[in-house]
Amino acid sequence: MFSKGRFLALSAIATTAVGAPVLNDKGLMQFALTIEHLEHAFYSDGLSKYSAQAFEQAGFSSWVYGRFQQIADNEAAHVAYLNNTLGSDAPAPCTYNFPHNDVKSFINMAQKIESISAGAYLGAARHINDTSILNAGVAIAGTESRQAGWITSSVLKQQPWDGAFETDIPPSPAYSLIQDFIVECPDSNPALPLATLPTLKISNPTPKAGDSITLTFEPGSSASPLYALWADGLKYTFTDVNNNQTTVPDELYNDCITCAHNPEECVQIVRRLPTINRRVVLFVISFLQLFLEEKIQSVTKMTAPNLALVMAPNLLRCNSESMLVVFTNAQYEQTFVHNLLLHLKCAEIDPDFVPTHGQGAISPRPATPSALRASKSRHHRPNY
């Protein structure tokens, strides 16, 4: 499922460590032109280095070369459009280094560059005010996505898309993914509204869900704890980074359904969650457990199964498109949450996190009779 994980992880870690730069429409167009200059140079360079014949010798049909020429033309048109729109504010091309050494590595690099640029346009979109600029950006992004899809499926014979939603890459992380290709830019170029992020290296660039990977980044960070942020479509997942290791996020949903009737296994799943997710679950469940007290139930009429019914959709989400699956799973989701309500010892799972409620950060003071009376008269009836 995290098919794009390999380069999304690259953009992950450092984003939280760096302050967000101020983005405006002009700066974002300058960023877009910087990407287009790079793409244009990439194709001009590659297609002059490798002939149609070299493509055929590498096992690709002659029309593949022709299509790459069309892509090169598209990139030239993007450059011309943005250069024209920006006028005297347009950045000039830089010098580049594209470390491919044969047709195959050129094509792999093209796929990577196209996917990053498609994601970068999407990541910039949310910051753009002027709808006509947004419209042009979306039009370019659509073409970059088609190009990425064509290279991925027709040329490399892989699945062309990554699920129903493209993943957007925010501007600074997107730039960090292509900056290795840039050797030097003219001093006269405008400064881009981007933060320089540490260079992140991943032990395995194409890990699978559940794999453990090692992350190193220069310059390092003294921040603690560290998290990796995984972007996949519209979904973001955090994982803990301990001793430079993190685990590629795995879907636990199916495990929750399978073990819903086994209380001990339900509790084990909570232990397996990444720290942030585990603590949120502990906080929420321990809060709900407060409502299981007999005297509260006698007022609310909310028994544990009732609470599970109401809360399950907030804790578990079924991704199936089949209504039959969604409805069938709903009762397992409730059973899972019911088991947590009855069996999760929230104060014991995570020694560094014991959830507290009601008092906030204030340490509980013994209630004096007068304080008790005051609080009773203020809250004499629950407000449901």
Ligand X SMILES: *[C@@H]1O[C@H](CO)[C@@H](O)[C@H](O)[C@H]1NC(C)=O
Judged by the rule CB under 6 A, the positions of this chain that interact with ligand X are 23-25, 79-80, 83, 87, 90, 127-129, 216-218, 220, 244
> CB–CB of 227/221 below 8 Å?
no
Position with the least CB separation from ligand X: 220
Got the DSSP string for 152-190?
A: IIIIT-S-S-SSSSPPP--HHHHHHHHGGGEEE--TTSP
> CB–CB of 223/32 below 8 Å?
no
C-beta neighbour count of 142 within 10 angstroms? 12
CA separation for the pair 228, 231 (Å, rounded): 10
Which of residues 207 and 355 has its CB atom nearest to ligand X in the complex? Answer: 207
Minimal distance, residue 227 CB to ligand X, in Å: 14
> Where is 52: in which H helix or E strand?
helix 52-57
Which of residues 129 and 322 has its CB atom nearest to ligand X in the complex? Answer: 129
Which of 345, 310, 337 has its CA nearest to residue 256?
Answer: 337
Distances in Å between the alpha carbon of 190 and those of 92, 194, 335?
Answer: 9, 11, 59
Phi, psi of 322 (to 5 degrees): -90, 125
Which of residues 183 and 361 has its CB atom nearest to ligand X in the complex? Answer: 183
Helix 103-125 and helix 25-49, axial crossing angle in degrees, nearest 10: 170
Minimal distance, residue 126 CB to ligand X, in Å: 9
The structure tokens listed for 134 are: 């947004």
Which of residues 34 and 83 has its CB atom nearest to ligand X in the complex? Answer: 83
> CB–CB of 75/143 below 8 Å?
no
Which of residues 91 and 355 has its CB atom nearest to ligand X in the complex? Answer: 91
Distances in Å between the alpha carbon of 141 and those of 92, 118, 138?
Answer: 21, 5, 5
Report the b/e string of 289-302 with b at 16+ CB within 10 A. bebeeeeeeeeeeb
> CB–CB of 190/30 below 8 Å?
yes
Minimal distance, residue 375 CB to ligand X, in Å: 45
Which of residues 29 and 341 has its CB atom nearest to ligand X in the complex? Answer: 29
> CB–CB of 245/216 below 8 Å?
no
Minimal distance, residue 279 CB to ligand X, in Å: 24
Which of residues 23 and 269 has its CB atom nearest to ligand X in the complex? Answer: 23
Which of residues 26 and 67 has its CB atom nearest to ligand X in the complex? Answer: 26
Minimal distance, residue 113 CB to ligand X, in Å: 18
**How many Å from the N-terminal Cα to the C-terminal Cα in the chain?**
41
The structure tokens listed for 80 are: 């011309």
Strand partners, 215: 202
Minimal distance, residue 376 CB to ligand X, in Å: 50
Minimal distance, residue 96 CB to ligand X, in Å: 14
Q: What is the DSSP letter of 242?
A: B
Minimal distance, residue 216 CB to ligand X, in Å: 4
Which of residues 34 and 147 has its CB atom nearest to ligand X in the complex? Answer: 34
> CB–CB of 171/18 below 8 Å?
no
Which of residues 42 and 50 has its CB atom nearest to ligand X in the complex? Answer: 42
Minimal distance, residue 87 CB to ligand X, in Å: 5
CA separation for the pair 292, 347 (Å, rounded): 16
Minimal distance, residue 222 CB to ligand X, in Å: 10
